[in-house]
Structure 1
């Protein structure tokens, strides 16, 4: 059977935070590090000014798990450095 692929997109809550070179570099590096750590190949990665799209060689469920963990990691980093949420509030959390 041919390998499964799935694509995920994380969109910024406000503005174009990935336009900042530090944010862009850290988000892309986190995606690659996470993929390597969990053993899921990245087939394509596109980082725009307000979104990150990643195509992975995995099932849809695997991609959702990847997206959730990448969102958690990058949002935590961004919040520490910018005192704001990168991707938005977590489910059940109030937005400011």
Structure 2
């Protein structure tokens, strides 16, 4: 019984199992594509902020190199995921090879 409790706890963390529909997958990819567009738009804004910070003599400076590195990492991850083809769908039933219909 003691070994069963941790297993049940781990299963409860996974949440309900819901089958994805093709529409869900395409909606997710569309949303991630929009997110990638937004991340791509952030790079020029980060460049502008960095240029503007060069004229100031603040004691503490923002780490623009780290910001750009993180943006590039996010861009790469999103691009890699979106360029990966969708997994081929398995047929939900076995083929029987009989395609004749009989009219009664």
Same fold (TM over 0.5): no
Q: Identify, as 1 or 2, the structure richer in helix.
A: 2
Q: Identify, as 1 or 2, the structure richer in strand.
A: 1
- Which one scores higher on RCO, CA 8 angstroms, separation ≥ 6? 1
Larger radius of gyration: 2
- TM-score, with structure 2 as normaliser: 0.28
